[in-house]
Structure 1
Amino acid sequence: MVSHLLKKSSCESSVTKLLRWNGLSLYNTSHGFHEEEVKEKLKQFTGGCIDLQKKDNGIGILTLNNPSKMNAFSGVMMLQLLEKVIELENWTEGIGLIVRGANSTFSSGSDLNAVKALGTPEDGVALCMFMQNTLTRLMRLPLVSVALVQGRALGGGAEVTTACDFRLMTPESEIRFVHKEMGIIPSWGGTTRLVEIIGSRQTLKVLTGALKLDSQKALNIGMVDDILKSSDETQCLQEAQEWLQQFISGPPEVIKTLKKSVASVKELCLEEALQTERDLLGTVWGGPANLEAITRKGKFNK
């Protein structure tokens, strides 16, 4: 009886820790963040939209769609991005995600009209917290995600690519963190995630130099995972889906649990990460995929 209660308590503790980084906001009023106030301000800046297509094969395609401004984020688009991320958090059939821009370009970052209007330090910090929250939730999704970079990913657009698990570029595309030239620093979580992707030394070069990373340079420093063959919008999207397929093939519950396990390591201390890994294992050990694999008697080794 006592051991049963201890086991139950441990599971509840683990669930609490998992909820801390999955599907919840980073900030609340105790941090001085008033989300509804920020949303009201962002509603004023219209233009563009965020499209989400959820395919039968379990791959979602999230499209930044504001082509007249190189897919720059208007305030409404920022609100819609959070809405789509929440929708993806609840998409039980999903296992993969491709983030892309409309009309063969990724994103030029924030719409300058919104940036100019939100000109006080207080406004800047509030917007920072809102987008950090949204992109962290994107990063935590139990979906294997890839940013498909066509054309240019600039400023905030470059930061969005870092919230995905992988990045793919077309031959003529470019990633550039232009924040220095605007007199600011990355504030959507881009610096933190970029250090994790390419290390602190390379990150300092990329940010202080506002370096133009073409596809080959980005590949050389580990910023991207592959360069696609085609720059055609339709063909490169097909290529990206085929590339992603290798990482989402298999039992969906196992793929999603693997993603949760890897994502947790980024945010938990060693002891908590090990406990989370253990408790996640309990959700798949002895499950249908595990039992089926055992009956194959090692055929997966061939």
Structure 2
Amino acid sequence: MAKSLLASSLSVRTKLLQTGVSLYNTTHGFHEEEVKKILEQFPGGSIDLQKKQNGIGILTLNNPNKMNAFSGVMMLELLEKVIELENWTEGKGLIVHGAKSTFCSGSDLNAVKALSTPENGVALSMFMQNTLTRFMRLPLISVALVQGWAMGGGAELTTACDFRTSSSKMLAHTRRDQFQSIFDPISKAKDMTLLFVLMTTESVIRFVHKEMGIVPSWGGASRLVEIIGSRQALKVLSGTLKLGSKEALSIGLADEVLQSSDEATALQQAQEWLEQYVSGPPQVTRGLKKSVCSGRELYMEEALQNERDVLETLWGGPANLEAIARKGKHTK
């Protein structure tokens, strides 16, 4: 009996790891269509996706008037883009960044205030956990290009990416009135000058949830523990630490610090950095990502089976045969 229960549990875990499968359904008390109707009531901004011929996609959080905060419609569009990426068979890599040299300030406070009941909070949490988990499981190697602030939900989004790069400087063009309303609820400071200086010196990742009286709810805490360990994660979350480029790099949250503050240049640098990991045939890169995902999320027996399944699709295939022929020439 115990063995059959374990087998059933493993089967469920393996099925969930497949792309295109939702994390939650009505058996979990999650009614996705109802949540979508609620989120549609909060428009603003967009999630833009550019799929390039080299197999690298550019996902842009585009709501610069609110420091790219997620509106309800943007949350819906993010899921739509994730589904589109799940079906992009030529894709190998993905860069996530925010418009106008700012990553993301979290959720639009207008939506947060309107959805203030515990029931709404849990429903929103399940929706975004589902979206970001599907995002994390994409067979694409992803990198978050963090410029300016990545706060709250924006910080959580960075943890759903495989890598994080940050810029060491940022252009000083953000208006005080543009970010005043966003910082007021999380800071009692009367003078915003210091915050303005912080924003214009370098990228900052900050999990501000504690100051909002909540905890990360989009899966950010769980993923943060995996990235930097439980001890460091507790410091970051409970101390609401402002992690600049150097601090993030030193604790393993950031993987690279880019030197350009110009949006277009930083985006190009991020693409060049990512290309070292996505070079070669897309099916091989996608297979590697799938193997890593299974090793992270499945029990060993199931992870090993997944490796064999992936290998079966590649062994004796075009990329494999071409590599063997190429290596053979080198040995002559």
Percent identical residues: 75
Provide the TM-score with structure 1 as the length reference. Answer: 0.93
Match for residue 223 of structure 1? 253
**1:201 Cα deviation (Å)?**
0.4
Match for residue 219 of structure 2? 189
Tell me if structure 1 keeps the 8 A contact 2:101–2:147: yes
Describe the SS at the equivalent of 1:168: strand
Tell me if structure 2 keeps the 8 A contact 1:21–1:264: no
Distance in 1 (alpha carbons) for counterparts of 2:88 and 2:315: 23
Distance in 1 (alpha carbons) for counterparts of 2:224 and 2:71: 24
Match for residue 64 of structure 2? 67
Alignment of 1:261 with 2:258, yes or no, is no
Query: Which of 119, 123, 131 is the aligned partner of 2:120?
Result: 123
Change in Cα spacing, 1:248 to 1:14, as seen in structure 2 (3 Å) is farther
**1:183 Cα deviation (Å)?**
0.2
Query: Which of 152, 155, 163 is the aligned partner of 1:155?
Result: 152
Tell me if structure 1 keeps the 8 A contact 2:104–2:149: yes
Alignment of 1:108 with 2:105, yes or no, is yes
Match for residue 281 of structure 1? 311
Query: Which of 28, 34, 39 is the aligned partner of 1:37?
Result: 34
Tell me if structure 1 keeps the 8 A contact 2:16–2:22: no
**1:21 Cα deviation (Å)?**
3.6
Distance in 1 (alpha carbons) for counterparts of 2:328 and 2:240: 50
Deviation sequence 1:156-208 (CA, Å, 0-9, x none): 00000000000000001000000000000000000010001000000000000
Alignment of 1:232 with 2:265, yes or no, is no
**1:231 Cα deviation (Å)?**
1.0
Distance in 2 (alpha carbons) for counterparts of 1:280 and 1:168: 29
Tell me if structure 2 keeps the 8 A contact 1:59–1:94: yes
Describe the SS at the equivalent of 2:94: strand
**1:265 Cα deviation (Å)?**
1.4
Match of 1:232, as an amino acid? Answer: D
Distance in 2 (alpha carbons) for counterparts of 1:16 and 1:132: 16
Describe the SS at the equivalent of 1:297: helix
Unaligned regions of 5+ residues in structure 2, if any? 1-9, 169-201
**1:19 Cα deviation (Å)?**
5.6
**1:264 Cα deviation (Å)?**
1.4
Provide the TM-score with structure 2 as the length reference. Answer: 0.84
Match of 2:53, as an amino acid? Answer: D
**1:295 Cα deviation (Å)?**
1.3
Tell me if structure 1 keeps the 8 A contact 2:17–2:137: no
Match of 2:322, as an amino acid? Answer: E
Distance in 2 (alpha carbons) for counterparts of 1:300 and 1:40: 60
Alignment of 1:17 with 2:14, yes or no, is yes
Match of 1:116, as an amino acid? Answer: K
Tell me if structure 2 keeps the 8 A contact 1:173–1:214: yes
Deviation sequence 1:266-288 (CA, Å, 0-9, x none): 21111100111111111101111
CA RMSD, Structure 1 to Structure 2 (Å): 1.7
Match of 2:263, as an amino acid? Answer: E
Tell me if structure 2 keeps the 8 A contact 1:14–1:276: no
Deviation sequence 1:75-113 (CA, Å, 0-9, x none): 000000000000010111111100000000000000001
Alignment of 1:55 with 2:39, yes or no, is no
Distance in 1 (alpha carbons) for counterparts of 2:125 and 2:330: 46
Distance in 2 (alpha carbons) for counterparts of 1:274 and 1:252: 22
**1:16 Cα deviation (Å)?**
9.2
Query: Which of 246, 267, 288 is the aligned partner of 2:276?
Result: 246
Tell me if structure 1 keeps the 8 A contact 2:32–2:127: yes
Match for residue 136 of structure 1? 133
Match for residue 78 of structure 1? 75
Query: Which of 205, 228, 236 is the aligned partner of 1:175?
Result: 205
Describe the SS at the equivalent of 2:44: coil
Distance in 2 (alpha carbons) for counterparts of 1:295 and 1:181: 59
Distance in 2 (alpha carbons) for counterparts of 1:287 and 1:15: 30
Tell me if structure 2 keeps the 8 A contact 1:175–1:213: yes
Change in Cα spacing, 1:90 to 1:151, as seen in structure 2 (3 Å) is same
Change in Cα spacing, 1:166 to 1:20, as seen in structure 2 (3 Å) is closer
Change in Cα spacing, 1:28 to 1:15, as seen in structure 2 (3 Å) is closer
Distance in 2 (alpha carbons) for counterparts of 1:97 and 1:135: 14
